[in-house]
Amino acid sequence: MVPTCAQMMRLRMPESRKRLYKRLLEATGESTKSKALDRAARYYCEMRGDTAVVPVGAIGELLAAAEERGSLTGEEIAAILDCQWLRVEYETEWLVGDGDNR
């Protein structure tokens, strides 16, 4: 007998895993565990690399850029880490003084 998809994906759900999945749903903004897990898996693969689709991941790219340039700005780091699975943007705001213009 061939197992169904539901039988193949049955996971034990201790309290710690339930909490983790709840946080993952919140972090990804997805409405189902399967979509949240897909997004997290895709993000991991984008960051790690070493696959046929993504040979050099963003973490490797970030480390290579830092080694090559010596230092990176927040904007440059955000540009390297940004991907469709987790948007990364950088913005700065400057304030001099206490903000009271009297």
pLDDT digits (tens, 9 = 90+) for 42-76: 999 999 999 998 999 999 999 999 999 999 999 99
Q: Rounded CA gap, 77 and 90, in Å? A: 8
Residue that has been written with the tokens 């998809």 in this structure: 5
Its pTM stands at 0.73
Q: What angle do CA 38, 44, 48 make, to 5 degrees?
A: 150
More confident site: 2 or 66 = 66
Task: Pick the more confident residue, 78 or 102.
Answer: 78
- Over residues 20-48, mean pLDDT: 94
